[in-house]
A and B are shown apart, each in its own frame.
Chain A
Amino acid sequence: MAELRSVVPEPTEQSRPYWQSAGEHTLSLLRCGGCGRWIHYVKRQCPYCASSELSWTPCSGRGTLYSYSVLYRASSPTFKEKTPYVLAVIELEEGVKTMSHLVDCELARIRVGMDVEAVFEELDEKRAVPYFRPAPRI
Protein backbone atom coordinates (compact mmCIF):
# COMPACT_ATOMS: atom_id res chain seq x y z
CA MET A 1 0.00 0.00 0.00
CA ALA A 2 2.80 2.37 0.93
CA GLU A 3 4.32 1.61 -2.46
CA LEU A 4 1.19 2.50 -4.35
CA ARG A 5 0.89 5.68 -2.33
CA SER A 6 4.24 6.70 -3.72
CA VAL A 7 2.96 6.72 -7.29
CA VAL A 8 -0.40 8.35 -6.69
CA PRO A 9 0.28 12.01 -7.39
CA GLU A 10 -0.51 14.70 -4.87
CA PRO A 11 -3.87 16.06 -5.94
CA THR A 12 -3.83 19.50 -7.47
CA GLU A 13 -6.24 22.20 -6.40
CA GLN A 14 -8.42 21.22 -9.34
CA SER A 15 -8.37 17.46 -8.82
CA ARG A 16 -8.65 17.40 -5.01
CA PRO A 17 -12.44 16.85 -4.98
CA TYR A 18 -11.99 13.73 -7.12
CA TRP A 19 -9.61 12.20 -4.60
CA GLN A 20 -11.66 13.40 -1.60
CA SER A 21 -14.69 11.70 -3.07
CA ALA A 22 -12.72 8.53 -3.81
CA GLY A 23 -11.56 8.60 -0.19
CA GLU A 24 -15.23 8.38 0.74
CA HIS A 25 -15.63 5.47 -1.70
CA THR A 26 -17.62 7.43 -4.23
CA LEU A 27 -16.54 7.98 -7.83
CA SER A 28 -17.20 11.59 -8.75
CA LEU A 29 -16.68 13.14 -12.16
CA LEU A 30 -17.11 16.63 -13.50
CA ARG A 31 -20.48 17.49 -14.93
CA CYS A 32 -21.18 20.62 -16.92
CA GLY A 33 -23.89 22.86 -15.46
CA GLY A 34 -24.40 24.42 -18.89
CA CYS A 35 -25.02 21.41 -21.14
CA GLY A 36 -25.16 18.51 -18.70
CA ARG A 37 -22.29 16.58 -20.31
CA TRP A 38 -19.95 14.51 -18.16
CA ILE A 39 -16.30 15.58 -18.46
CA HIS A 40 -13.23 13.44 -17.73
CA TYR A 41 -10.30 14.23 -17.08
CA VAL A 42 -10.09 17.51 -15.18
CA LYS A 43 -10.96 20.72 -16.96
CA ARG A 44 -12.22 24.10 -15.78
CA GLN A 45 -14.18 24.89 -18.90
CA CYS A 46 -16.58 22.74 -20.88
CA PRO A 47 -15.21 22.03 -24.39
CA TYR A 48 -18.75 21.66 -25.75
CA CYS A 49 -20.56 24.77 -24.47
CA ALA A 50 -17.69 26.81 -22.94
CA SER A 51 -19.47 26.98 -19.59
CA SER A 52 -17.27 27.29 -16.51
CA GLU A 53 -19.98 25.79 -14.31
CA LEU A 54 -18.36 22.41 -13.96
CA SER A 55 -19.11 20.62 -10.71
CA TRP A 56 -17.91 17.36 -9.17
CA THR A 57 -20.90 15.03 -9.23
CA PRO A 58 -21.16 11.48 -7.92
CA CYS A 59 -21.58 9.07 -10.83
CA SER A 60 -22.97 5.55 -10.95
CA GLY A 61 -19.58 3.89 -10.64
CA ARG A 62 -20.92 1.32 -13.07
CA GLY A 63 -19.89 0.57 -16.60
CA THR A 64 -18.48 -2.01 -18.96
CA LEU A 65 -14.96 -3.21 -19.68
CA TYR A 66 -13.90 -1.40 -22.87
CA SER A 67 -10.49 -3.07 -23.07
CA TYR A 68 -7.83 -4.60 -20.84
CA SER A 69 -4.34 -6.03 -20.72
CA VAL A 70 -2.80 -8.37 -18.19
CA LEU A 71 0.61 -6.90 -17.36
CA TYR A 72 3.38 -9.34 -16.43
CA ARG A 73 6.21 -6.84 -16.49
CA ALA A 74 6.16 -3.43 -14.91
CA SER A 75 8.49 -0.50 -15.18
CA SER A 76 8.47 0.54 -11.52
CA PRO A 77 9.03 -1.48 -8.32
CA THR A 78 5.54 -0.55 -7.12
CA PHE A 79 3.88 -2.29 -9.99
CA LYS A 80 6.40 -5.14 -10.20
CA GLU A 81 5.03 -6.29 -6.87
CA LYS A 82 1.51 -6.25 -8.24
CA THR A 83 2.18 -8.29 -11.42
CA PRO A 84 0.23 -9.79 -12.97
CA TYR A 85 -2.26 -6.96 -12.80
CA VAL A 86 -5.10 -6.10 -15.12
CA LEU A 87 -4.85 -2.67 -16.70
CA ALA A 88 -8.35 -1.73 -17.79
CA VAL A 89 -10.28 0.97 -19.59
CA ILE A 90 -13.83 1.27 -18.33
CA GLU A 91 -16.67 2.84 -20.27
CA LEU A 92 -18.90 4.31 -17.58
CA GLU A 93 -22.67 4.47 -17.84
CA GLU A 94 -22.28 8.25 -18.00
CA GLY A 95 -20.62 7.87 -21.41
CA VAL A 96 -17.03 8.69 -20.48
CA LYS A 97 -14.09 6.32 -20.24
CA THR A 98 -11.57 6.03 -17.42
CA MET A 99 -8.39 4.04 -16.84
CA SER A 100 -8.20 1.67 -13.90
CA HIS A 101 -7.47 -1.88 -12.81
CA LEU A 102 -9.87 -4.77 -12.99
CA VAL A 103 -9.70 -6.64 -9.67
CA ASP A 104 -11.42 -9.62 -8.04
CA CYS A 105 -11.69 -11.46 -11.35
CA GLU A 106 -10.01 -14.66 -12.53
CA LEU A 107 -7.92 -13.89 -15.60
CA ALA A 108 -9.69 -16.56 -17.66
CA ARG A 109 -13.06 -14.95 -16.96
CA ILE A 110 -12.22 -11.47 -18.23
CA ARG A 111 -14.28 -10.42 -21.26
CA VAL A 112 -14.43 -7.13 -23.13
CA GLY A 113 -17.91 -5.76 -22.54
CA MET A 114 -18.42 -7.34 -19.10
CA ASP A 115 -20.29 -5.32 -16.47
CA VAL A 116 -18.09 -3.75 -13.83
CA GLU A 117 -18.48 -1.55 -10.77
CA ALA A 118 -16.12 0.68 -8.81
CA VAL A 119 -14.34 -0.51 -5.67
CA PHE A 120 -11.80 1.44 -3.68
CA GLU A 121 -8.36 0.53 -2.36
CA GLU A 122 -7.48 2.71 0.61
CA LEU A 123 -4.09 4.40 0.59
CA ASP A 124 -4.44 6.12 3.96
CA GLU A 125 -7.22 7.55 6.10
CA LYS A 126 -8.15 10.11 3.50
CA ARG A 127 -7.32 8.72 0.10
CA ALA A 128 -8.31 5.70 -1.97
CA VAL A 129 -7.71 4.60 -5.55
CA PRO A 130 -10.75 3.60 -7.62
CA TYR A 131 -10.60 0.11 -9.15
CA PHE A 132 -13.31 -1.91 -10.87
CA ARG A 133 -14.57 -5.45 -10.30
CA PRO A 134 -17.13 -7.64 -12.07
CA ALA A 135 -20.68 -6.53 -11.27
CA PRO A 136 -23.79 -8.63 -11.28
CA ARG A 137 -26.01 -7.73 -14.22
CA ILE A 138 -29.07 -5.88 -12.93
Chain B
Amino acid sequence: MHREVAIVGTGEAEGGRRSGKTTFELASEAAHLALADAGLQRDEIDAVFLEQPMSEHHHMPANVFLEYMDMRPQAAVAFAAGGATPHAMAIQAAGLIASGVYETILIVDADGRATRFAGDKGMATSQAADDMEEFETPYGASVPGRYALIAQRHMHDYGTTEEQLAQVAVVERKHASLNPRAAYRDPLTVREVLESPMVAAPFHLLECCMVSDWGTAFVMTSKRRAGRLNKPPVWIRGFGSAQQGYNLAPLQSFSSWPIQHSAKHAFRMAELTPEEVHVAELYDSFPITVLIALEELGFCEKGQGGAFVQGGAAELGGKIPVNTHGGQLSYACGHGQYILEAARQLRGEAGQAQADGARYGLSQGTAAICSSSYTIIYEAD
Protein backbone atom coordinates (compact mmCIF):
# COMPACT_ATOMS: atom_id res chain seq x y z
CA MET B 1 0.00 0.00 0.00
CA HIS B 2 1.69 3.20 -1.13
CA ARG B 3 0.46 6.54 0.16
CA GLU B 4 -3.23 5.71 -0.17
CA VAL B 5 -4.36 5.95 3.47
CA ALA B 6 -2.83 7.98 6.30
CA ILE B 7 -3.13 8.82 9.95
CA VAL B 8 -3.59 12.58 9.97
CA GLY B 9 -4.40 13.44 13.56
CA THR B 10 -3.82 11.99 17.01
CA GLY B 11 -5.07 12.89 20.46
CA GLU B 12 -4.57 11.61 23.95
CA ALA B 13 -6.65 12.43 27.04
CA GLU B 14 -5.09 13.15 30.40
CA GLY B 15 -5.62 9.77 32.01
CA GLY B 16 -3.69 8.48 34.97
CA ARG B 17 -4.13 6.23 37.93
CA ARG B 18 -7.42 7.84 38.91
CA SER B 19 -8.48 10.66 36.63
CA GLY B 20 -12.01 10.72 38.01
CA LYS B 21 -13.21 10.90 34.41
CA THR B 22 -15.78 8.64 32.81
CA THR B 23 -14.87 6.52 29.81
CA PHE B 24 -16.88 8.71 27.45
CA GLU B 25 -15.29 11.85 28.87
CA LEU B 26 -11.85 10.39 28.17
CA ALA B 27 -13.01 9.37 24.69
CA SER B 28 -14.38 12.84 23.97
CA GLU B 29 -11.23 14.57 25.21
CA ALA B 30 -9.00 12.39 23.02
CA ALA B 31 -11.27 12.73 19.98
CA HIS B 32 -11.40 16.54 20.14
CA LEU B 33 -7.59 16.64 20.40
CA ALA B 34 -7.23 14.31 17.40
CA LEU B 35 -9.64 16.38 15.31
CA ALA B 36 -7.82 19.59 16.25
CA ASP B 37 -4.46 17.99 15.50
CA ALA B 38 -5.67 17.10 12.01
CA GLY B 39 -7.54 20.36 11.49
CA LEU B 40 -10.84 18.60 10.87
CA GLN B 41 -14.37 19.34 12.06
CA ARG B 42 -16.73 16.78 13.58
CA ASP B 43 -18.99 16.91 10.51
CA GLU B 44 -16.10 15.91 8.26
CA ILE B 45 -15.98 12.44 9.84
CA ASP B 46 -17.73 9.72 7.84
CA ALA B 47 -17.39 6.90 10.35
CA VAL B 48 -16.53 6.45 14.01
CA PHE B 49 -14.95 3.28 15.35
CA LEU B 50 -14.88 2.89 19.12
CA GLU B 51 -13.33 0.21 21.29
CA GLN B 52 -15.97 -1.37 23.48
CA PRO B 53 -14.88 -0.22 26.94
CA MET B 54 -14.47 -2.75 29.72
CA SER B 55 -15.41 -0.33 32.48
CA GLU B 56 -18.71 0.92 31.07
CA HIS B 57 -20.82 -1.68 29.36
CA HIS B 58 -23.41 -0.61 26.84
CA HIS B 59 -24.97 -2.44 23.92
CA MET B 60 -24.39 0.55 21.60
CA PRO B 61 -21.32 2.32 22.98
CA ALA B 62 -20.37 3.93 19.65
CA ASN B 63 -23.74 5.72 19.57
CA VAL B 64 -23.37 6.78 23.20
CA PHE B 65 -20.08 8.34 22.12
CA LEU B 66 -21.79 10.14 19.21
CA GLU B 67 -24.31 11.58 21.65
CA TYR B 68 -21.47 12.82 23.88
CA MET B 69 -19.78 14.43 20.86
CA ASP B 70 -23.03 15.51 19.13
CA MET B 71 -21.88 13.83 15.92
CA ARG B 72 -23.92 12.27 13.11
CA PRO B 73 -21.58 10.29 10.84
CA GLN B 74 -22.64 7.60 8.38
CA ALA B 75 -21.30 4.78 10.47
CA ALA B 76 -20.60 4.20 14.17
CA VAL B 77 -19.39 0.77 15.21
CA ALA B 78 -17.93 -0.62 18.41
CA PHE B 79 -15.19 -3.23 18.14
CA ALA B 80 -14.20 -5.75 20.77
CA ALA B 81 -10.82 -7.31 20.11
CA GLY B 82 -9.28 -6.78 23.54
CA GLY B 83 -5.89 -5.08 23.60
CA ALA B 84 -5.65 -5.37 19.82
CA THR B 85 -8.83 -3.36 19.21
CA PRO B 86 -7.31 -0.06 17.99
CA HIS B 87 -5.11 -2.01 15.58
CA ALA B 88 -8.14 -4.00 14.44
CA MET B 89 -10.10 -0.79 13.88
CA ALA B 90 -7.22 0.87 12.00
CA ILE B 91 -6.94 -2.07 9.63
CA GLN B 92 -10.68 -2.16 8.90
CA ALA B 93 -10.56 1.62 8.41
CA ALA B 94 -7.62 1.40 6.02
CA GLY B 95 -9.49 -1.10 3.87
CA LEU B 96 -12.67 0.95 3.82
CA ILE B 97 -10.83 4.19 3.00
CA ALA B 98 -8.68 2.57 0.29
CA SER B 99 -11.78 1.11 -1.35
CA GLY B 100 -13.61 4.43 -1.20
CA VAL B 101 -16.44 3.40 1.12
CA TYR B 102 -15.65 6.14 3.64
CA GLU B 103 -13.09 8.90 3.31
CA THR B 104 -12.38 9.92 6.90
CA ILE B 105 -12.67 7.74 9.99
CA LEU B 106 -12.25 8.68 13.64
CA ILE B 107 -10.94 5.83 15.80
CA VAL B 108 -11.27 6.04 19.57
CA ASP B 109 -10.10 3.85 22.43
CA ALA B 110 -10.87 4.96 25.99
CA ASP B 111 -11.45 3.19 29.26
CA GLY B 112 -11.82 4.68 32.72
CA ARG B 113 -10.54 1.48 34.23
CA ALA B 114 -8.63 2.77 37.23
CA THR B 115 -11.38 5.16 38.23
CA ARG B 116 -14.13 2.63 37.64
CA PHE B 117 -12.42 -0.11 39.60
CA ALA B 118 -11.37 2.40 42.30
CA GLY B 119 -7.70 1.72 41.77
CA ASP B 120 -8.10 -1.93 42.71
CA LYS B 121 -5.63 -3.51 40.37
CA GLY B 122 -6.91 -6.91 41.31
CA MET B 123 -10.42 -6.08 40.20
CA ALA B 124 -9.26 -4.56 36.97
CA THR B 125 -6.90 -7.34 36.05
CA SER B 126 -9.25 -10.11 37.07
CA GLN B 127 -11.99 -8.80 34.85
CA ALA B 128 -10.77 -10.78 31.87
CA ALA B 129 -10.52 -13.89 33.99
CA ASP B 130 -14.13 -13.51 35.07
CA ASP B 131 -15.19 -13.85 31.47
CA MET B 132 -13.50 -17.20 31.11
CA GLU B 133 -15.26 -20.51 31.01
CA GLU B 134 -16.14 -22.49 34.09
CA PHE B 135 -13.16 -24.74 33.40
CA GLU B 136 -10.70 -21.95 34.14
CA THR B 137 -12.43 -19.82 36.79
CA PRO B 138 -12.11 -22.43 39.59
CA TYR B 139 -8.35 -22.15 39.33
CA GLY B 140 -7.79 -18.47 40.12
CA ALA B 141 -6.12 -17.84 36.78
CA SER B 142 -5.33 -14.13 37.13
CA VAL B 143 -4.21 -12.15 34.11
CA PRO B 144 -0.56 -12.08 35.30
CA GLY B 145 -0.88 -15.83 35.89
CA ARG B 146 -2.02 -16.46 32.35
CA TYR B 147 0.85 -14.49 30.83
CA ALA B 148 3.18 -16.26 33.25
CA LEU B 149 2.08 -19.61 31.80
CA ILE B 150 3.20 -18.38 28.39
CA ALA B 151 6.48 -17.09 29.82
CA GLN B 152 7.24 -20.30 31.71
CA ARG B 153 6.74 -22.34 28.56
CA HIS B 154 9.01 -19.95 26.63
CA MET B 155 11.66 -20.31 29.34
CA HIS B 156 11.38 -24.08 29.05
CA ASP B 157 11.51 -24.17 25.26
CA TYR B 158 14.21 -21.55 24.67
CA GLY B 159 16.06 -21.00 27.92
CA THR B 160 14.74 -17.46 28.39
CA THR B 161 15.76 -16.16 31.83
CA GLU B 162 14.12 -14.02 34.52
CA GLU B 163 16.87 -11.43 34.00
CA GLN B 164 16.02 -11.19 30.30
CA LEU B 165 12.33 -10.72 31.06
CA ALA B 166 13.19 -8.05 33.64
CA GLN B 167 15.35 -6.27 31.08
CA VAL B 168 12.20 -5.45 29.07
CA ALA B 169 10.85 -3.46 32.02
CA VAL B 170 14.24 -1.76 32.41
CA VAL B 171 14.41 -0.72 28.73
CA GLU B 172 10.86 0.61 28.75
CA ARG B 173 11.56 2.60 31.91
CA LYS B 174 14.66 4.04 30.29
CA HIS B 175 12.54 5.26 27.40
CA ALA B 176 9.81 6.52 29.74
CA SER B 177 12.39 8.57 31.62
CA LEU B 178 12.73 10.65 28.42
CA ASN B 179 8.98 11.19 28.20
CA PRO B 180 7.35 13.88 30.36
CA ARG B 181 3.95 12.22 29.89
CA ALA B 182 5.01 8.82 31.22
CA ALA B 183 3.53 7.62 34.53
CA TYR B 184 6.80 6.15 35.83
CA ARG B 185 10.08 7.85 34.99
CA ASP B 186 12.60 6.90 37.68
CA PRO B 187 15.39 4.72 36.29
CA LEU B 188 15.14 1.03 37.07
CA THR B 189 17.68 -1.79 37.26
CA VAL B 190 17.22 -5.50 36.58
CA ARG B 191 17.99 -6.11 40.22
CA GLU B 192 15.23 -3.73 41.35
CA VAL B 193 12.75 -5.50 39.07
CA LEU B 194 13.74 -8.91 40.40
CA GLU B 195 13.54 -7.66 43.99
CA SER B 196 10.02 -6.29 43.57
CA PRO B 197 7.32 -8.62 44.97
CA MET B 198 6.65 -11.77 42.97
CA VAL B 199 3.14 -11.71 41.53
CA ALA B 200 2.97 -14.75 39.26
CA ALA B 201 6.33 -16.41 38.67
CA PRO B 202 8.32 -15.45 36.68
CA PHE B 203 6.66 -12.01 36.82
CA HIS B 204 7.38 -9.50 39.56
CA LEU B 205 5.28 -6.46 40.29
CA LEU B 206 7.45 -4.20 38.11
CA GLU B 207 6.82 -6.49 35.13
CA CYS B 208 3.03 -6.22 35.31
CA CYS B 209 0.91 -3.95 33.14
CA MET B 210 -0.26 -0.94 35.12
CA VAL B 211 -3.93 -0.12 35.48
CA SER B 212 -4.81 3.46 34.62
CA ASP B 213 -7.48 5.49 32.85
CA TRP B 214 -6.81 6.30 29.23
CA GLY B 215 -8.23 7.87 26.12
CA THR B 216 -6.59 7.79 22.72
CA ALA B 217 -7.95 8.78 19.33
CA PHE B 218 -6.68 9.10 15.79
CA VAL B 219 -8.08 10.12 12.44
CA MET B 220 -7.43 8.21 9.23
CA THR B 221 -8.21 9.55 5.79
CA SER B 222 -7.59 9.21 2.07
CA LYS B 223 -4.65 10.40 0.05
CA ARG B 224 -6.90 13.09 -1.45
CA ARG B 225 -7.67 14.69 1.88
CA ALA B 226 -4.45 13.83 3.72
CA GLY B 227 -2.31 16.33 1.85
CA ARG B 228 -4.54 19.29 2.75
CA LEU B 229 -4.50 19.06 6.54
CA ASN B 230 -2.47 20.52 9.43
CA LYS B 231 0.29 17.99 9.81
CA PRO B 232 2.35 15.72 7.54
CA PRO B 233 0.46 12.45 7.02
CA VAL B 234 1.73 9.20 8.51
CA TRP B 235 1.13 6.73 5.69
CA ILE B 236 -0.10 3.18 6.19
CA ARG B 237 2.41 1.12 4.26
CA GLY B 238 1.13 -2.35 5.08
CA PHE B 239 -0.88 -4.36 7.56
CA GLY B 240 -1.72 -7.92 8.48
CA SER B 241 -3.60 -9.89 11.09
CA ALA B 242 -4.12 -13.42 12.37
CA GLN B 243 -6.54 -14.85 14.89
CA GLN B 244 -7.37 -17.96 16.88
CA GLY B 245 -9.65 -18.95 19.77
CA TYR B 246 -10.01 -17.14 23.09
CA ASN B 247 -9.22 -19.41 26.03
CA LEU B 248 -5.65 -20.35 26.79
CA ALA B 249 -5.66 -24.07 27.48
CA PRO B 250 -7.33 -25.17 24.23
CA LEU B 251 -4.73 -23.37 22.09
CA GLN B 252 -2.47 -25.72 20.16
CA SER B 253 0.74 -24.01 21.15
CA PHE B 254 1.67 -21.24 23.57
CA SER B 255 4.77 -20.12 21.77
CA SER B 256 3.52 -20.04 18.20
CA TRP B 257 1.46 -16.89 18.27
CA PRO B 258 -0.64 -15.37 15.50
CA ILE B 259 1.93 -12.59 15.49
CA GLN B 260 4.16 -14.32 12.95
CA HIS B 261 1.30 -14.62 10.49
CA SER B 262 0.12 -11.04 10.95
CA ALA B 263 3.73 -9.92 10.45
CA LYS B 264 4.13 -11.97 7.29
CA HIS B 265 1.05 -10.37 5.73
CA ALA B 266 2.10 -6.88 6.84
CA PHE B 267 5.68 -7.07 5.54
CA ARG B 268 4.47 -8.53 2.26
CA MET B 269 1.97 -5.70 1.74
CA ALA B 270 4.57 -3.11 2.78
CA GLU B 271 7.23 -4.64 0.54
CA LEU B 272 9.68 -4.20 3.39
CA THR B 273 11.75 -6.44 5.64
CA PRO B 274 12.18 -6.18 9.43
CA GLU B 275 15.71 -4.82 8.86
CA GLU B 276 14.21 -1.79 7.12
CA VAL B 277 12.00 -0.77 10.05
CA HIS B 278 13.39 1.94 12.34
CA VAL B 279 11.11 1.83 15.35
CA ALA B 280 8.63 -0.71 16.79
CA GLU B 281 5.81 -0.12 19.27
CA LEU B 282 4.74 -3.53 20.58
CA TYR B 283 1.87 -4.49 22.85
CA ASP B 284 3.53 -5.09 26.20
CA SER B 285 1.10 -6.13 28.90
CA PHE B 286 3.95 -8.24 30.30
CA PRO B 287 7.59 -8.64 29.18
CA ILE B 288 6.95 -11.99 27.51
CA THR B 289 4.60 -10.31 25.03
CA VAL B 290 7.46 -8.10 23.82
CA LEU B 291 9.98 -10.94 23.57
CA ILE B 292 7.66 -13.17 21.56
CA ALA B 293 6.62 -10.25 19.35
CA LEU B 294 10.28 -9.41 18.57
CA GLU B 295 10.83 -13.02 17.54
CA GLU B 296 7.64 -13.51 15.57
CA LEU B 297 7.96 -10.18 13.77
CA GLY B 298 11.38 -11.29 12.58
CA PHE B 299 13.52 -8.73 14.43
CA CYS B 300 15.48 -11.65 15.91
CA GLU B 301 15.57 -15.44 15.68
CA LYS B 302 12.85 -17.55 17.30
CA GLY B 303 13.66 -18.02 20.97
CA GLN B 304 16.29 -15.26 20.99
CA GLY B 305 14.05 -12.40 22.15
CA GLY B 306 15.56 -12.44 25.63
CA ALA B 307 19.17 -12.27 24.45
CA PHE B 308 18.20 -9.63 21.88
CA VAL B 309 16.79 -7.30 24.52
CA GLN B 310 19.58 -8.08 26.97
CA GLY B 311 22.11 -7.02 24.36
CA GLY B 312 20.57 -3.55 24.09
CA ALA B 313 19.04 -4.03 20.64
CA ALA B 314 15.59 -2.80 21.74
CA GLU B 315 16.85 0.50 23.16
CA LEU B 316 16.95 3.88 21.48
CA GLY B 317 20.17 3.80 19.49
CA GLY B 318 19.93 -0.01 19.23
CA LYS B 319 18.99 -2.18 16.28
CA ILE B 320 15.24 -1.62 16.69
CA PRO B 321 14.07 0.77 19.43
CA VAL B 322 10.99 -0.72 21.09
CA ASN B 323 8.25 1.08 23.01
CA THR B 324 9.98 4.41 22.82
CA HIS B 325 7.26 5.96 25.02
CA GLY B 326 7.51 3.42 27.85
CA GLY B 327 4.59 1.13 27.05
CA GLN B 328 2.09 -0.27 29.50
CA LEU B 329 4.84 -1.03 32.00
CA SER B 330 5.94 2.61 32.40
CA TYR B 331 3.92 5.02 30.23
CA ALA B 332 0.21 4.29 30.75
CA CYS B 333 -2.37 1.57 30.45
CA GLY B 334 -4.15 1.52 27.11
CA HIS B 335 -4.42 -0.05 23.70
CA GLY B 336 -4.13 2.81 21.20
CA GLN B 337 -0.85 4.21 22.59
CA TYR B 338 1.30 2.07 20.25
CA ILE B 339 -0.28 3.58 17.14
CA LEU B 340 -0.01 7.09 18.57
CA GLU B 341 3.65 6.62 19.46
CA ALA B 342 4.43 5.23 16.00
CA ALA B 343 2.80 8.31 14.48
CA ARG B 344 4.70 10.59 16.87
CA GLN B 345 7.98 8.95 15.88
CA LEU B 346 7.32 9.17 12.15
CA ARG B 347 6.32 12.81 12.45
CA GLY B 348 9.52 13.49 14.37
CA GLU B 349 7.54 14.68 17.39
CA ALA B 350 8.92 12.31 20.02
CA GLY B 351 11.27 14.83 21.62
CA GLN B 352 14.11 13.28 23.61
CA ALA B 353 12.80 9.81 22.79
CA GLN B 354 13.00 10.37 19.04
CA ALA B 355 14.44 7.40 17.14
CA ASP B 356 17.07 8.40 14.59
CA GLY B 357 15.96 8.53 10.98
CA ALA B 358 12.53 7.05 11.67
CA ARG B 359 11.17 6.63 8.15
CA TYR B 360 9.46 3.25 8.56
CA GLY B 361 7.73 2.30 11.80
CA LEU B 362 5.74 -0.67 13.03
CA SER B 363 3.13 -1.20 15.69
CA GLN B 364 1.65 -4.45 16.86
CA GLY B 365 -1.42 -5.27 18.93
CA THR B 366 -1.96 -8.54 20.74
CA ALA B 367 -5.09 -9.58 22.59
CA ALA B 368 -6.38 -12.17 25.03
CA ILE B 369 -2.88 -13.49 25.48
CA CYS B 370 -2.50 -15.49 22.26
CA SER B 371 -5.82 -14.93 20.52
CA SER B 372 -5.26 -12.08 18.21
CA SER B 373 -2.53 -10.17 16.45
CA TYR B 374 -2.54 -7.12 14.19
CA THR B 375 0.58 -5.60 12.69
CA ILE B 376 0.73 -2.22 10.97
CA ILE B 377 3.72 -0.77 9.13
CA TYR B 378 3.91 2.99 8.60
CA GLU B 379 5.87 5.30 6.37
CA ALA B 380 6.80 8.89 7.13
CA ASP B 381 5.69 11.56 4.65
A→B interface (CB under 8 Å): 4, 7-9, 11-12, 15, 18, 40-42, 66-76, 78-79, 82, 85, 87, 89, 96-101, 112-113, 129
Contacts and interface: CB of A to CB of B under 8 A. Distances in A.
Nearest to B208: A73
B137 A8 contact: yes
Contacts, number: 113
A87 B141 contact: yes
A75 B126 CA distance: 6
A129 B138 contact: yes
A34 B100 CA distance: 47
Contact of B201 (A70, A97, A98, A99): A70
B257 to A, nearest CB: 14
Interface of B: 122-123, 125-126, 129, 133-142, 144-145, 148-153, 156, 197-203, 247-251, 254
Contact of A41 (B140, B153, B156, B247): B247
Given A9-B134, A112-B152, A74 B140 contact: yes
Contacts of B138: 4, 7-9, 129
A87 B201 CA distance: 10
A137 B139 CA distance: 26
Contact of A69 (B125, B136, B201): B201
- The binding surface of chain A is classed by DSSP as mixed
A4 B137 CA distance: 10
A106 B10 CA distance: 52
Nearest to B202: A69
A63 B235 CA distance: 50
B147 to A, nearest CB: 8
Contacts of B197: 72-73
A67 B153 contact: yes
B201 A41 contact: no
B263 to A, nearest CB: 24
A87 B254 contact: no
Contact of B200 (A42, A73, A82): A73
A75 B150 contact: no
A31 to B, nearest CB: 15
B148 A69 contact: yes
Contacts of A15: 134
7 contacts: A9-B134, A40-B249, A41-B133, A42-B135, A67-B152, A75-B125, A97-B249
A87 B149 contact: yes
Contacts of B122: 73-76
B248 A72 contact: no
B135 A71 contact: no
B142 A101 contact: no
A98 B149 contact: no
Contact of A40 (B156, B198, B250, B254): B250
